[in-house]
């Protein structure tokens, strides 16, 4: 099965608020076309314009290549070989960041193709489906006031979610205010639902521990990414000093970073973004960490329905599945990009049962929001 074309798709809303850490305002998707008529779909959660440039650009030399040039004519069934080929092809300008993000999108599309060719959903290729439905937590940027927090929490409760995560925004600038906002959410959620906070890298070890002590009665399921992504010493000191789960990993790419978070950072929850970390190929290694080290693996997923589908397949294949993330941001990309939006029942989403990722893109939305 030969790759005949790489089709990058940049999508963008008419108005983008750059003051918000909201990844649902634009998107980068791609489609891999093959000589057998099968098409693979992938996503990179990154700067869409940079991603498209990496696909379309002419090569500079042997280790600084445009990725369409690398892929066209290659055998789409050789996923690991192509991952290594793409990594070498971007070595001069990559080895992380946007290069790994784009490789993630390509890898995701290759696994989608593999499932379609094999007549299986991706989760079966990853090691087997262990669950048919995955609990998801509602995820949104932290608002500025307690009243706004309570309105978001009320919406999550009405929607049937069993957990809510709020983060970034004002968090980290005033601990008393952080406590006020988290307490407002807990008052609405009640004791039977989980509450997570995303620290947005806004804390020190000392301030994070101070926050957790003040929130002891609120009861957090986890505190996410309070420190810089590669502050392994800080994560170790924090995780070893608290009973609250510490989560991290959404900004990382490549398996080595996740091993370090576990072995050096002592984090409790790994949060790979399959549209950033290196795709399902890296995800398989994280799946092993979940099985062997007992850490939770809960994928970061704050973008389109393509990533939602990929995340559900990943969680379904885990030996110890718990949650997946689901953005409740007001964006057409979260569910509208798919011909069949996800339907939540009792706080969970069904793992797609179709071939590959089991999704199709809504061509009308693509045409309406695609940037040429």
| Positions marked active-site | 300
Q: Name beta bridge partners: 167.
A: 141, 198
Range 52-59 contact pairs with CB under 8 angstroms and sequence separation of 24 or more: 52/8, 52/10, 52/28, 54/90, 54/98, 54/99, 54/102, 55/6, 55/8, 55/30, 55/102, 56/8
Q: By C-alpha distance, which of 184, 248, 182, 250 is closest to 220?
A: 182
* DSSP H or E segment with residue 275: none
Q: What is the DSSP letter of 82?
A: H
The stretches of the chain forming alpha helices (DSSP H) are 48-56, 67-71, 79-89, 98-118, 122-126, 146-158, 175-189, 205-214, 232-240, 255-263, 279-293, 305-316, 332-335, 363-369
Token pair of 95 as six digits: 């080895």
Q: What angle do CA 354, 356, 357 make, to 5 degrees?
A: 80
The DSSP symbol for 231 reads -
Q: How far apart are CA 137 and CA 157, in angstroms?
A: 11
Torsion angle, CA of 366/20/225/335, rounded to 10 degrees?
-30
| Backbone dihedral angles phi then psi of residue 20, each to the nearest 5 degrees | -100, 140
With beta carbons less than 8 A apart as the criterion, state whether 345 and 315 touch: no
Residue 147: Cβ within 10 Å count = 9
């Amino acid at each position: 099965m030969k790759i005949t074309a790489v089709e990058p798709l940049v999508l963008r809303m008419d108005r983008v608020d750059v003051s918000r850490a909201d990844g649902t305002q634009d998107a980068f998707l791609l489609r891999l076309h093959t000589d057998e008529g099968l098409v693979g779909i992938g996503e990179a959660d990154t700067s869409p314009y940079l991603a498209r440039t990496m696909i379309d650009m002419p090569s500079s030399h042997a280790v600084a290549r445009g990725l369409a040039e690398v892929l066209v004519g290659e055998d789409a069934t050789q996923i690991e070989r192509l991952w290594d080929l793409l990594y070498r092809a971007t070595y001069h300008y990559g080895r992380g960041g946007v290069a790994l993000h784009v490789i993630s999108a390509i890898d995701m599309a290759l696994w989608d193709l593999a499932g379609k060719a094999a007549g299986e959903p991706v989760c079966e290729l990853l090691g087997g489906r262990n669950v048919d439905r995955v609990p998801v937590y509602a995820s949104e940027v932290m608002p500025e006031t307690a009243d706004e927090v309570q309105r978001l929490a009320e919406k999550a409760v009405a929607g049937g979610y069993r957990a809510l995560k709020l983060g970034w925004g004002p968090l980290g600038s005033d601990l008393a205010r952080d406590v006020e906002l988290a307490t407002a959410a807990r008052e609405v959620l009640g004791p039977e639902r989980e509450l997570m906070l995303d620290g947005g890298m806004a804390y020190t070890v000392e301030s994070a521990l101070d926050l957790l002590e003040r929130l002891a009665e609120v009861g957090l399921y986890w505190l996410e990414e309070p420190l810089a992504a590669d502050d392994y010493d800080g994560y170790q000191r924090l995780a070893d000093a608290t009973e609250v789960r510490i989560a991290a990993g959404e900004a990382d790419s490549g398996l080595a970073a996740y091993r370090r978070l576990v072995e050096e950072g002592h984090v409790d929850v790994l949060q790979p973004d399959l549209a950033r970390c290196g795709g399902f190929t890296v995800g398989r290694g994280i799946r092993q960490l979940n099985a062997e080290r007992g850490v939770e693996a809960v994928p970061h997923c704050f973008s389109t329905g393509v990533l939602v589908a990929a995340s559900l397949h990943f969680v379904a294949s885990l030996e110890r599945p718990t949650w997946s993330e689901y953005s409740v941001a007001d964006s057409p990309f979260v569910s509208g990009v798919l011909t069949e939006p996800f339907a939540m029942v009792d706080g969970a989403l069904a793992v797609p049962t179709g071939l590959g990722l089991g999704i199709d893109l809504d061509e009308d939305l693509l045409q309406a929001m695609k940037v040429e």
